[in-house]
Amino acid sequence: MFRPNDNFNLLPESYLFSEVAKRIREFRADHPDADIIRMDIGDVSLPLPECIIKAMHKAVDDQASQATFHGYGPEQGYSFLRDSIAEWDYNKRGIAHITADDIFISDGAKSDIGNIGDLFGKNIRVAVTDPVYPVYVDSNVIDGRAGILSDGRWSNILYLECTAENGFRPLLPADGICEVIYLCFPNNPTGTTSTKDELRKWVEYALRNEALIIYDSAYEAYITSDNVPRSIFEIEGAEHCAIEVRSFSKTAGFTGMRCGYTVVPRTLKYRFSDGKTASLHDMWNRRQCTKFNGASYIVQRGAAALYTPEGREAIAHNVGLYMKNAHTLREALLAKGYIVAGGVDSPYVWFKTPGCKTSWQLFEQLLHDAHITSTPGAGFGKAGEGYLRFTGFNSEENTIEAVKRITNC
Ligand code: PLP
């Protein structure tokens, strides 16, 4: 008799985004004339830059002729893209030791984050921040590493609470109590970042404990502050204890295109239980070659166009518009006297109003009083209760209108 993976039976319904959508639908049905502004959107709204479209058109034409046709590509990604990433995202930013060979192209960061657990032992303990991007937790539940769910927490996951008291930055756990740490900077949902000195402490922790950091820098393009690292590999020693996951989604509007990459340095070495050396690079390569046939040629051509002068300019322009919106939201919420994080070096703004309202009560209040949608913080973890998340991904016009309504309500 076939037996399914019982871990799926442990997973609670993922209700956050469907519940948000349902409540908006119901509100719309009762208030058909309401001009609702979506400040909850986690998707980009601007179209792809012209140079990317052109590159993809050309790639489509390549597929039409025998001489330029591309069938299966390398599982690791095409060198035209890996070389550009190594040059522009690492070498030109002073990170000389990351080479094209360390870079694996994928169909997006979510896939890599979900799949990276294939490299972990069964009985290890992972640490996540709370609030957290839910994929880190749920993928470990599916892999059978999370334990039992009780009162919103998994028994074998270590939660590092990010609260107003610690500036929404996780504190280092005690030595020896976790083997994998998921870090995300700029953070989704809180919008916080980490300075070089703070990140160095995490690298030192991982080196001291022979732990592994999974560093999600899907939002690195939003960083403008000097002392905020864009890559964990700016920190000395990280090449011995960290994997970095990146995405073209929010950087370049690729949410519907699907392309990202993961950096697994060759220097990342641990031990199998029989004492033999385990190269995570070789293991990830083996994993990808077994389970993945590479990202689409056309999409990779589009991604490579991001690194041309026109591509870089177009991206900087779009990211700048989203950042302007996030900044506008941040300032308006601060002016109301709310507790606010993010909106600097991040498209996300995380906030709490005075009083003891729950996230869902605040969500309803904003929807009814101002016709503005948000994402309830409680959906990202227990420590998110009482908070809401806004994003800068709507248009400038809608963001300005939302701010007017917030100011008046
Ligand atoms: N990591 C974080 C923190 C995210 O917020 C998201 C998407 O919202 C992703 C990864 C997934 O990115 P991708 O679209 O490349 O799968």
pLDDT in tens, 330-345: 999 999 999 999 999 9
Angle, CA of 216, 358 and 169, to the nearest 5°: 30
Amino acid identity for residue 149 in this structure: L
Question: Which secondary structure element, helix H or strand E, spans residue 321, and what is its range?
Answer: helix 309-335
Residues in Cβ contact with 18 at an 8 Å cutoff, skipping those fewer than 6 apart: none
Q: With 90 as the cut, is the pLDDT of residue 18 above it?
A: no
Q: With 80 as the cut, is the pLDDT of residue 383 above it?
A: yes
Closest ligand 1 atom to Cα of 255? 14
| CA atoms of 12 and 49, how far apart (whole Å) | 39
- The average confidence (pLDDT) of the chain is 96
Q: Which of 106, 133, 255 to mutate to test the pocket of ligand 1 (most atoms within 8 A of CB)?
A: 133
Q: Taking a C-beta distance cutoff of 8 angstroms, is the pair 112, 245 a contact?
A: yes
Give, using CA atoms, the residue closest to atom 8 of ligand 1.
42
pLDDT of residue 283: 98
DSSP letter (8 states) at residue 86? I
Give, using CA atoms, the residue closest to atom 7 of ligand 1.
110
| CA atoms of 125 and 177, how far apart (whole Å) | 7
Cα dihedral 244, 249, 250, 252 sign: positive
**Per mean pLDDT, which range of 12-26, 128-142, 169-183 is the poorest?**
12-26
pLDDT of residue 189: 98
Mean pLDDT, rounded, for 5-26: 90
Other residues' Cβ atoms within 10 Å of the Cβ of residue 125:
19
Give, using CA atoms, the residue closest to atom 11 of ligand 1.
110
Q: Kindly write down the DSSP assignment for every residue of 325-336, as one continuous string.
A: HHHHHHHHHHHT
Query: Which pLDDT band, with edges at 50, 70 and 90, does 179 fall under?
Result: very high
| CA atoms of 351 and 68, how far apart (whole Å) | 52
CA 182 vs CA 33, 49, 113, 158, 187: distances in Å:
44, 32, 10, 11, 11
pLDDT in tens, 219-273: 999 999 999 999 999 999 999 999 999 999 999 999 999 999 999 999 999 999 9
- Percentage of residues in the chain having pLDDT higher than 70: 100
Centre of ligand 1 from the C-alpha of residue 183, in Å: 13
| CA atoms of 131 and 108, how far apart (whole Å) | 22
Question: Which has the closest alpha carbon to 42: 214, 247, 195?
Answer: 247
Give, using CA atoms, the residue closest to atom 2 of ligand 1.
218
pLDDT of residue 103: 98
Centre of ligand 1 from the C-alpha of residue 331, in Å: 26
Give, using CA atoms, the residue closest to atom 3 of ligand 1.
188
Residues in Cβ contact with 84 at an 8 Å cutoff, skipping those fewer than 6 apart: 304, 306, 307
Q: With 80 as the cut, is the pLDDT of residue 280 above it?
A: yes
Centre of ligand 1 from the C-alpha of residue 247, in Å: 7
**Cβ-count burial 395-407 (b if 16+ within 10 Å, e if not):** eeebbebbbebbe
Q: Which of 110, 115, 116, 220 to mutate to test the pocket of ligand 1 (most atoms within 8 A of CB)?
A: 110
Closest ligand 1 atom to Cα of 187? 3
Give, using CA atoms, the residue closest to atom 1 of ligand 1.
218
Looking at 155-293, which runs of residues are DSSP E strands? 157-161, 180-184, 212-216, 242-247, 260-263, 269-271, 277-279
Mean pLDDT, rounded, for 97-123: 97
pTM beyond cutoff 0.95: yes
Is 174 exposed, middle or buried, given 0-12, 13-18 or 19+ CB atoms closer than 10 A?
A: exposed
pLDDT of residue 408: 85
Centre of ligand 1 from the C-alpha of residue 33, in Å: 34
Query: Which pLDDT band, with edges at 50, 70 and 90, does 14 fall under?
Result: confident
pLDDT of residue 42: 86
Closest ligand 1 atom to Cα of 133? 3
Closest ligand 1 atom to Cα of 260? 15
| CA atoms of 202 and 171, how far apart (whole Å) | 9
Query: Omega into 354 within 30° of 0, i.e. cis?
Result: no
pLDDT in tens, 294-309: 999 999 999 999 999 9
Give, using CA atoms, the residue closest to atom 12 of ligand 1.
109
Protein residues with CB under 6 Å of any ligand 1 atom: 42, 108-110, 133, 184, 188, 216, 218, 247, 249, 255, 260
Other residues' Cβ atoms within 10 Å of the Cβ of residue 68:
11
Q: Which of 250, 296, 299, 389 to mutate to test the pocket of ligand 1 (most atoms within 8 A of CB)?
A: 250
pLDDT of residue 246: 98
Q: With 90 as the cut, is the pLDDT of residue 276 above it?
A: yes
Closest ligand 1 atom to Cα of 108? 15
Centre of ligand 1 from the C-alpha of residue 110, in Å: 5
Half-sphere exposure of 255 (CA within 13 A, CB side): 11
Q: Taking a C-beta distance cutoff of 8 angstroms, is the pair 130, 159 a contact?
A: yes
Closest ligand 1 atom to Cα of 254? 14
pLDDT of residue 396: 96
